Chain A
């Protein structure tokens, strides 16, 4: 059902999208708790290892396809599986306003 809704201004993440983090989102290592955190207005998110690996590659120049290929190589995983996972992760974050293009 949610797939049917498109609001004007909503970013639909595709293979050609060049995702980046908006400047107000801070990916920071939380040394005290031995993990990464994403800090946003009134939010603290704890991305897992996969999400951190993806977000660190979201620099606004690489496409989703390139990010997925790089991760597939690094983790010796099938690129299709990785791409689907990356798209899902980034769309979820875009819908919360945490990923832009």
Chain B
């Protein structure tokens, strides 16, 4: 969900919608007015099963069990409802979405509902004939993650021997079949030296888009932060490299970049505003304003098994909790940027300050900001810790790891 650099005067990019949607009727007050804009994007986490075990995963520590996953019929209904309420793009993710044997039916349903479908896959178990079938059913775009450009390191990070060759094969099939390919590069201290080679790889594969996605510290990634966080200098270098490549590769490769906000001065406008343009469905059907929202213990989430998607979007407590600006405390409340960054990320405020209504500590105006930067720099200066690999066996141990909130500045 990134902004274009320079919108053309005849063609604007929208990441959050400003147009009210017919049939989605708001009311008198500010919050109701916001609801009248259906989200444009939906992330469907089809399953938490995954053949890879990457420690940078932003899935919650507590992974959903297979027998709690939505059925085929329930996912088909979700796709239909999404199309009806005006959602335009669906991102099929996980875990590994191809672990669902009924992915075919889900993609058919998305296509029939008029949704632009993105398959976000690790690609290690995807066969050519299956991909062909998915394309026939209307799949629009494939995104493949590469844990590193060096096979050995990539396979250590993902804990899956032989992954690289499989990913390269699938990437070439995607291009052969005329589909746009996104190379997803999850960047952290153990592969940040290869940002330039990721760019070369994307060009060589004929990718349409490259995502230089600096790891965001939620879920497993938060737990593994000391194994992942790069230094400030490495971060700045990688950003410069991408900015130069963007100019050089204009019209050839689109490069989107997610920067690590621990070193930022301004927080990211997370999700483009809570409950404003985006919704997330968990494998068990819970509907979240963002994929990390379950880390906020004060929120309760509605399920597509109990309520209609549109009803949840408009009326659920979780979506209304941080919609607009009314919920804000200082320094957000009187801030000139409050409609621009919405106080940053609620989950990061929760994780670092134990109060989701606080300003995201990534913001220089947060009293916790100095502590956060110091913590990042101190962790990055030490040798990387061992990964806690993301797998069901490690869940129990990881759940017990207590993270102390930061202490604010005096």
Contact = CB atoms under 8 A, between A and B. Distances in A.
A97 B24 contact: no
The DSSP consensus for interface residues of chain A is: mixed
Q: Place the interface of chain B in its size category.
A: 35 or more
Interface residues of A, number: 42
B255 to A, nearest CB: 11
A48 B10 contact: yes
Nearest to A38: B11
A24 interface: yes
Interface string A73-99: 000000000000100110011111100
A60 interface: no
A8 B254 CA distance: 14
Contacts of A45: 11-14
B1 interface: yes
Contact of B254 (A31, A92, A96): A96
Contacts of A5: 247-248, 250
B38 interface: yes
A88 B11 CA distance: 11
Interface stretch (B50-58, B151-159, B175-183, B186-194): B175-183
Interface stretch (B15-23, B164-172, B319-327, B372-380): B15-23
A44 B182 contact: no
Contacts of B22: 31-34
Among A28, A41, A44, A89, max chain B CB count under 10 A is at A41
Contacts of A43: 4, 13
A39 B91 CA distance: 13
Contact of A42 (B2, B20, B23): B2
Interface string A21-65: 011101010111111011111111111101100100000000000
B84 to A, nearest CB: 9
A15 interface: no
Contact of B251 (A35, A44, A85, A97): A97
B33 to A, nearest CB: 15
A10 B203 CA distance: 12
B149 interface: no
B249 interface: yes
Contacts of B20: 33
B251 A9 contact: yes
A7 B182 contact: no
A24 B89 contact: no
Contacts of A9: 251-252
A69 interface: no
B86 interface: yes
Contacts of A8: 252
B77 interface: no
Q: Output the residue of B1, B86, B179, B208 with the most chain A CB within 10 A.
A: B208
A72 B8 CA distance: 21
B216 interface: no
29 contacts: A2-B247, A10-B252, A22-B180, A24-B141, A30-B88, A31-B22, A32-B24, A32-B86, A33-B20, A34-B19, A39-B116, A40-B180, A41-B141, A41-B209, A42-B1, A42-B2, A42-B89, A42-B211, A43-B4, A44-B40, A45-B12, A45-B13, A46-B14, A89-B11, A92-B6, A92-B11, A93-B11, A96-B254, A97-B251
Interface of B: 1-2, 4, 6, 8, 10-15, 17, 19-24, 38, 40-41, 85-86, 88-89, 114, 116, 118, 140-141, 143, 178-180, 182, 208-209, 211, 247-254, 256
Q: Which 8 interchain pairs have the tightest Cβ spacing?
A: A32-B86, A10-B251, A51-B10, A92-B8, A24-B180, A39-B116, A33-B19, A41-B141
